[in-house]
Structure 1
Amino acid sequence: MDGLPSSYLAATVTRREDHTDDLATFWLRPERPVAFEPGQYVTLVLPGASGQWVKRPYSVLSAPHEGEIELFVERVDGGELTPSLFGLAAGDALGVRGRAAGAFARDGACTHHVMACTVTGIAPFLSMLRHAAADPASGARGDRFLILYGASTPADLGPYAAELQTFARGEHVSAVVTVSRPWEAPNWTGEAGRVEDVLRKHLDALEWPLEETAGYACGNPGMVSAVHGLLRRAGLDDAHLHEEAYFPDAGETAPGEAPPAAPPARRQGVTAAPPGGIVLKTAPRPPERD
């Protein structure tokens, strides 16, 4: 791809799998590897309608040891980048920033992790699980995971509910998959309700030591806020609550970096992201230098 901003690499779509009209997984291979930690995001760039480059960040679903970048993406009508991205097929080119970013990561101070997510918010958690499964040192720690994965309907879960269930066959992962519109899926046999509706039931049943438990939420901001409120009331320490809120901005939905977990009163009035789809976490990020 000619004329890319200087900090971006040419990449090729090696494979694409559509799950619904608006949800798809893309596998990308940059011209050279892009290093990242589980939980981070990469920024894609494509030409916009007016000829300018449009950049948007997307959480990486693949683990660092995998050879390609796997992204689970929702197409947004009126978005500046996702309609163009959904026009790509295997063999097509796009740009990927040469370094990943983001501070959303597994909490190294805790051995128990309760993770709540909606739709494409599963990406950083599956990256963490795949990495943990492939890393002998991680397995030796004996970390435990409770993953709660929600969507409106089963189709919106993509193939990742099945992958979670595969992880849950082991002794270290418990997986709960829930849909908020079960009446649209008469054959659904899993949980019914929003993620925040079923979280306490499953967390309480595990009887984890709260002083060793970290909480994470990734997805729409309403869910993120509700989950953190529930986890605080359950007794988790604010220092071990982590979030990645996907804020719609400029017609896109992208991983944001939100402020650290705080009591609800301090979070009031936070309704939108700064330009570009990023919500700041702990400190503003400097502008990209291309």
Structure 2
Amino acid sequence: MTDSTIQSLRARVLHYQPLNEDVYHLVLAPEQPIAFQPGQYIELQAAADQWGAFSLACTSDATQLELHIQHLPHRPTSALLHQQCLRAYEQQDWITLRGPQGGAVLSNTGTEPLTLIAAGTGYAQIKSWLLALEKQASETAITLYWAVRTPDDFYDQQWLHNWQQAPQHQLIQVVELADAQWTGRSGRITEALAQDFIGPHSATHLKGLISGSPAMVYAVEDLLLERGLSPRALISDVHFYAPRDYSA
């Protein structure tokens, strides 16, 4: 991605409503089309020199842009951006964005199985991959791991329920702080993966995407590298903005 491909423009806020307690569904109508690839992100301007980066959770030919915005009131940029989005939604006003950016994009996968691993709103980036594959009528086998802190942090459950009806799709939801009603996997995402990839060569075949914080991405990678994963076989934006040396 070169700087010449990054646009800066206004977008009208069409929708800004909660998906759960602190994640909002933001729908934007940009003043001109943005060409992007599944897995890329845009930045939203919170103040003159403050920007927040968010993955696009829509298909690359969408005329409206969809994002999942986590409101973190203790973080100044997040608090400012939340206020801006609320105001712009109520007044059908504009906000400023720039993009697209990011190299963790969906390539021509053929028929090789994909493993997709998300934490929290990292699911937004993965949904853009899923939507693109669905549009291609792909029969690729996909295993999606989605980890959150509590069961209430999940959202988009009806869409995922429909998605996993395809026999080649598997959804594994993991809750770190499970309650008595939760019947799925519990613990950290690395603990869930350790249950599924046991032997020293069990992750050799994996390819796909990890979407989350640097700490989460590299914890997952460290576990799977011990089980045969090839470096960067599971790509991530973290590899670009917080790279590490795999030759060490």
Residue 188 of structure 1 corresponds to which residue in structure 2? 182
Secondary structure of 2:237's match?
Answer: strand
Residue 62 of structure 1 corresponds to which residue in structure 2? 58
Q: Does 1:79 align with 2:80?
A: no
TM-score normalised by structure 2 residue count:
0.83
Q: Percent identity?
A: 22
- Letter of the 2:26 partner, please give it: F
1:163/1:230 CA distance change after superposition, 3 Å: farther
Residue 100 of structure 1 corresponds to which residue in structure 2? 100
- Letter of the 1:163 partner, please give it: W
Q: Runs of 5+ in structure 1 lacking a partner?
A: 1-5, 246-254, 267-290
1:193/1:37 CA distance change after superposition, 3 Å: same
Secondary structure of 1:132's match?
Answer: helix
Deviation at 1:95, TM superposition (A): 0.6
Residue 28 of structure 1 corresponds to which residue in structure 2? 28
* Distance (Å, rounded) in 1 between the aligned partners of 2:115 and 2:225: 12
Q: Aligned pair count?
A: 236
C-alpha contact 1:65 1:131 (8 A) present in aligned 2: no
Q: Runs of 5+ in structure 2 lacking a partner?
A: 1-5
C-alpha contact 2:144 2:170 (8 A) present in aligned 1: yes
Q: CA RMSD in A?
A: 2.8
C-alpha contact 1:41 1:59 (8 A) present in aligned 2: yes
Deviation at 1:84, TM superposition (A): 2.4
* Distance (Å, rounded) in 1 between the aligned partners of 2:233 and 2:10: 37
**Match runs of 1:184-223 below 5 Å:** 186-202=180-196, 210-211=204-205, 213-223=206-216
* Distance (Å, rounded) in 2 between the aligned partners of 1:17 and 1:27: 9
C-alpha contact 1:13 1:92 (8 A) present in aligned 2: yes
TM-score normalised by structure 1 residue count:
0.72
C-alpha contact 2:203 2:224 (8 A) present in aligned 1: no
C-alpha contact 1:40 1:102 (8 A) present in aligned 2: yes
Residue 157 of structure 1 corresponds to which residue in structure 2? 154
Residue 225 of structure 2 corresponds to which residue in structure 1? 232
Residue 242 of structure 2 corresponds to which residue in structure 1? 258
**Aligned counterpart for 1:143 among listed residues 137, 140, 143:** 140
* Distance (Å, rounded) in 2 between the aligned partners of 1:155 and 1:261: 37
Residue 37 of structure 1 corresponds to which residue in structure 2? 37
